[in-house]
A and B are shown apart, each in its own frame.
Chain A
Amino acid sequence: MKIHVSLLDTTYMNSMQSALNASLLRQQVYANNIANVNTPGYKREQVHFDSILQSQLAASGQSMGISTGVVQPLSLEANNTRDIGTNVGSATALGTVSPVVTTDSSTAIGGNGNNVNVDAEMSALAENQVGYGALVQDMNDQFSMLRTAILGS
């Protein structure tokens, strides 16, 4: 099977952008949990993104970063008709994959109704930070290739 990896793969770029946004949001949610570690009654929040993006990619018959043959339109639609490139179809649809924030209402560890586990938050924060760096690096590599293709040097 011939695999086309387009330099101007907007599906890829848009899903990268979604992932970057989700990662930034995740950082803020972890920071907020950590800031409220001693707030009585506070319940930690969590971000769901990867599973949503994966199910959207699976629904469209794609895997991250590589488009095989004809790009199938995604079942997800753009939220706003004024979004740039709404007509591109799948590319824009992926760009609109939004992370979902939910509250973890499980029982508290301490007696004050707070269920933030600092160890878990700190390690998740570190993991997210490294992941974000990888995403940025990947995106920069993509732009670098694009620049090379355009300028020829």
Chain B
Amino acid sequence: MGVGLFDGMSISGSGLTANRTWLDVIANNIANANTTRTPAGGPYRAEEVVFSPGSASFSSALGNATGSTLQGVQVSGIVSDPAPFKLVYDPSSPDAVNGYVQMPNVNIGTEMMNMISATRAYEANVTAFNAAKTMDTQSISIGK
């Protein structure tokens, strides 16, 4: 099995990209926690990311084709949360129907928890990236 010098960095890089995307989606959910009107009509629907092994980089695609299973991670999709909207009694709202307003199905508690998970995972990938970088730097110093 061939071991590419910079593969470690691209693997961790894919983890950074995936977790940053997750963080973006979480931020968008939190920002729209009270959005009752969307272009599609109705309140905002929370979104979730789907992680799967693999990334779009050429070296990992090549590695995949040649039998290596080390392909990093990717966001394979962003899907809408099917959970029902919350109904809030607010007759004064222009969006009220029979006194009730449909509110987004964003659960702030869940979003905050996911945000911590994404941040921690991002940090772990940074550490792994730096380890790969240090090792690669040491590699090119051999024999100097």
Question: A interface vs B, CB < 8 Å?
Answer: 20-21, 23-25, 27-32, 34-40, 42, 45, 98-99, 101, 103, 118, 121-122, 125-126, 128-129, 132-133, 136, 139-140, 143
Contacts and interface: CB of A to CB of B under 8 A. Distances in A.
Contacts of A32: 11, 69-72
23 contacts: A20-B139, A25-B1, A25-B3, A27-B128, A28-B3, A28-B11, A32-B69, A34-B124, A35-B11, A36-B15, A36-B73, A38-B22, A38-B51, A40-B51, A45-B70, A99-B1, A118-B124, A122-B124, A122-B127, A125-B131, A126-B131, A136-B138, A143-B142
A133 to B, nearest CB: 6
Contacts of A101: 1, 69
Interface in B115-142: 117, 120-121, 124-125, 127-129, 131-132, 134-135, 138-139, 141-142
Interface string B51-64: 11100000000000
